[in-house]
Structure 1
């Protein structure tokens, strides 16, 4: 096993504890039931994973939980013995569990890997180049293998209502400066408002610097708790609302995301990240996930996220139903 990671023997007690879902063990997951079916369609000929014991984790926000449940369902349908450790509170705890071998696989985002985990200040604009850079460095340093990424890109963005789009005729961020200063208002999360790589840098990139009378005066900024920005934008409390581009509330509230035409925001394509030794021993895992990842577009994730965040369905059922509807399992 890669020297940075613990041996399987060293984490037996941790896995046992996690399997009982006891929060004192550190991760505090609330995984729930495992659903499975028979592999079908493009996955029908994937070699069985009978005998493989694998722990799958996720972070604790809807999209990553849904993706985690997709992985759990796929692996269980391929006859693997899966421990569901999805819904780990916080990125830091999830990443640490992955590094230490408490979990074997988890969906991760290339932008998060490059900037947050590997400590690089500047994102790589090209999606494929950023993926390759993350893949190579994380494999070398931590023994973690990044499978080819999905086309979906859950990055930051700014959304407007249909009424605003019609009033100003804008479709991209470079057109924000065409909106009169008095109406050039923003709803953002407090952290995003103050981070150099957040709102200040974005406004500077698009030639409407924060804090200046002819840019975006401080009085034009309104800060909200996570998630409240969507409804505030829909209600007209501001013209531009900070969003995540695959959030289901974008469609539910009939918002439009403006094109990041100067490519300010990092790319956050999602990839299944797995212990490399496990992948080398069971290469069919890559075959299992490749067709699934290819179909995970922005539009698909927006729809799946909406089923959880808007309709109130359970992530495990949303994941299972999507895999059936796409013909991956029966």
Structure 2
């Protein structure tokens, strides 16, 4: 990453952190440059080279977008909103707002439109009080699908690891809201999470799946099976996604009678039922004081750069 890009990222970070600080509307360009340890000249030049607009213009635009949001969501007088946006008079605010949005603020408030003002940096005010940053890398739907499967394999492994803190009685304590007909426990849910991947691996390889392994399975067995079944299942998904074959079909000859499934349907099936089982495990672990994983939410995982 270049120095200019670093400076821009730091500037936007500082701007986001100080958005609710009244001093943001009063800070001069020299003060902003000093915060980031640059001269005003170099600061302006670096930010403009990355953002396509000088830092003062970016800051004013963000504050105007926030002002537009305030007009829609509050009954605050326009003068109060103008002052909050850094304008010393209603007239100055009206001129700036009309230039950016095409109509005066009073007119826009009666008939609001798009909040965001077009800008080359694609950094915008994000309601209710932060900034929206452009993604460094565009994530496609198939990228997202692969990341969700990666998260599933990883999270299942973490749950098996954390289950080692429990005693045998806790592992076999019945968990409510079972997804299957039989009573579920942490042990049986973990075994089914691993077994679900193993079952589909077997179907794709046209071999029998040994259901007996899931009967009161030990944690050591779970670890060993996951070390094989997880990467194998993930490799199947990656291969299908890379070849754009999610709509292709395969025959599960092990079903009675044999059934035809799509690869995409298989992945959707695994992720849907696994999400429920993982949530039950997370809740059961938390009930025994093991809260390291929270809800096991994939939101942060899929947002991480690969």
Alignment TM-score > 0.5, same fold? no
Compute the TM-score of the two structures, normalised by the length of structure 1: 0.24
* Relative contact order, higher structure (CA 8 A, sep 6+): 1
| Structure (1 or 2) with the larger CA radius of gyration | 2
TM-score, normalised via structure 2 length:
0.26
Larger fraction in helix: 2
